[in-house]
Amino acid sequence: MFLLKGTIDGSKKLFIGRLFGIGLTFISGLLIIRTLGVEEYGRWALLQAIFSTISVLVGFRTIEALTFHIIKSRENNNLSQRDLLVSSAVTVDFLVTSFLFFIGVFFVGVYQKYALDSALTSNLLIWSYSLSILPNFLSNTWTSITRIQDKYQRMVSIPLLIVFIKLISVSGLWLTNMLSMTSLILLTVFINLIQGFIQYRDINIWLKAERLPSLKISLLNLPWRNSVLSDFWDMLRAGFITSSITGAVKKADVLFLGYWRDESDVGIYNLAKNLVSIVQSPFS
């Protein structure tokens, strides 16, 4: 009964946090579209959509696999297996994020050539936005570890903090007439670095409490065929297929619209989509 009550309370916190997060993001979007105009805002939405779509196509659902198998290794009191699980998940996500860094820039070029009449922004800014993706490779591991510890308040407060920092920063740029595509991309790099640092710190605190080595990326020693982790790899492969299909359906709509319509329509659609997310949030 106590476990059920804790789960329900945690779900309430996550729901409220998600609702506030979407609301704050919507306010930021209003300031951005008011300053940039619907056409430039549409370009911003397309740049984000390209990277988020590729991310779900090439990413592995390490959250569920890592959470399940760490809990299982705890029950067996298997420290070495836990270490292998964490290092494997982090390394996989690092490889995927690094691949996204390069393939994202390539796909932006392809999309600009065949779907748009002009470039979204300069090549330097596209590379800068791609760079902002790299600190995100710890997000899945952080979510798993935070979930395992039942730190629902932490799962709510950190994303809310990031969204709040973005809103304050966007408001400051808007008030000082410095809000532009360039400043938004640089702001994204800055915010993702902050988020990555927080996640890195939280993960290492947990590892120390579990008497495990500090966070590491082990490319050479990654146990791809380790029989101890065979179930973990099987779960990753199964999750990859389902998440790629469902994720692409949810993320690629902006790209399809950008192919058939102009950037102004994309900007209006993306703002409306954010508004619908707030309305749907209580029922999703």
What ranges in the chain are assigned the alpha helix state H? 2-58, 62-75, 79-115, 123-131, 139-148, 152-175, 181-209, 230-251, 253-260, 263-280
Report percent pLDDT > 90 for the chain: 18
Work out the pLDDT band at 199, boundaries 50, 70, 90: very high
Angle at 34 between CA 32 and CA 40, to 5 degrees: 65
Q: What is the mean pLDDT of the chain?
A: 82
Position 197: which residue type? Answer: F
Report whether pLDDT(1) > 70: no
Output phi, psi for 87, to 5 deg. -65, -35
pLDDT recorded at residue 275: 74
DSSP structure class, residue 170: H
Other beta carbons within 10 Å of 212? 17
Query: Considering the entire predicted model, what is its pTM?
Result: 0.83
**What pLDDT shows up at residue 223?**
55
- CB distance 101 to 133 below 8 Å: yes
Q: Tell me, what DSSP letter sits at residue 262?
A: -
Local confidence band at 224 (pLDDT 50, 70, 90 cut-offs): low
pLDDT tens, position by position, 208-218: 888 888 876 66
Residue 219: pLDDT over 60: no
> 40: closest CA among 211, 230, 179, 240?
179
What is the model's pLDDT at position 109?
Answer: 87
Quote the pLDDT of residue 113: 84
What are the backbone dihedrals phi and psi of residue 180, each rounded to the nearest 5 degrees, phi first? Answer: -155, 175
- Of residues 117 and 102, more confidence is placed in 102
Average pLDDT over residues 221-235: 68
CB 95 within 8 A of CB 222: no
Q: What confidence score (pLDDT) does residue 266 get?
A: 87
- Give residue 284's pLDDT: 52
- Supply the pLDDT for residue 228: 63
